[in-house]
Amino acid sequence: MSMLRKFDAGLMAVIIATLIATVILALTSPDYFTLVFAKEDGLVEYGTALFLLIASIVMARHAASLWGQGRRGAAVLTAVYGLMFFMAAGEEISWGQRIIGWESGEFFLENNKQDETNLHNLMVGDVHLTKSLFGPVLTICILLYLVGLPLIYPKGGRIARLADRMAVPVPWLKHAAIALIASIIIAVLDADRKWEVYELIFSLLIVSIFLLPQNRDATR
């Protein structure tokens, strides 16, 4: 087994262990789950930021490889994918604000739900802007990507060719299965900050997909 596949197996093991720990702690010790395991600026949140950053680095490397092959359009799109995950990693920890300890500017103090320097908690009046504008759409897109694309891609056709041409890393069925299982577990659990764990699972899945997609030859 190659080092890459061993690393991928490790990611799968971490996902399973995280889900098991989430269920056990949420059911047996909800206070510990909320205040320690999934707390803000805790292991789960920093883990999410770390793996989102790793995902962005993987995409940057793929973009450089595609550019060298002369696939300029695919390289630019892949670089955009990488930039999106880099920004997501920064947003997850408010760009290091709580680590370094700087004060938010006036705009964020007036318009951010948590008075922090990030975009995903922006408010307009009583409306959570990002969640209202992108929440439902983003959820549908993520589910189509994680669950729909792995089913459609092996059949070939226009969507498969488009995914290859745009260098979109295609998940495997194992990723779809984990995404569905994790979604069900998180949905039925009654625990504060359970969505922090969901974000960690997503970040781990994304790294696994980006490293070893179905269409590996078309994405790097």
According to the model, what pLDDT value does residue 162 have?
Answer: 93
2 or 161, which is more confident?
161
> Does residue 212 register a pLDDT over 70?
yes
Identify the domain containing residue 207 by its residue range. Answer: 3-218
CA 210 to chain centre: 11
Check residue 124 and give its pLDDT.
65
Res. 94 pLDDT band, cuts 50 70 90: confident
**How large is the average pLDDT for residues 51-74?**
95
The count of other CB atoms within 10 Å of the CB of residue 21 is: 14
DSSP state of 116: S
What is the H or E stretch that residue 58 is in?
helix 43-68
Residue 135 pLDDT: 61
State how far the Cα of 31 lies from the Cα of 201, in Å rounded to an integer.
Answer: 21
Residues with Cβ within 8 Å of 98's Cβ and at least 6 positions away in sequence, in order, are: 41, 116
- Contacts for 97 with CB less than 8 Å, ≥ 6 apart: 104, 116, 117, 118
Average pLDDT over residues 46-60: 96
State percent of the chain over pLDDT 90.
Answer: 65
pLDDT range class, residue 174, cuts 50, 70, 90? very high
Q: Average pLDDT in the 29-49 region?
A: 92
On average, the pLDDT of the chain sits at 87
Identify the weakest region by mean pLDDT among 18-27, 119-128, 163-172, 180-189: 119-128
The torsion angles phi and psi of 123, rounded to 5 degrees, stand at -120, 145
> Does residue 62 carry a pLDDT above 90?
yes
pLDDT of the residue at 129: 60
Residue 134 has pLDDT above 60, yes or no: no
Number of domains in the chain: 1
pLDDT range class, residue 133, cuts 50, 70, 90: low
**Least confident segment among 23-27, 56-60, 133-137, 189-193:** 133-137
- Contact between 203 and 48 (Cβ < 8 Å): yes
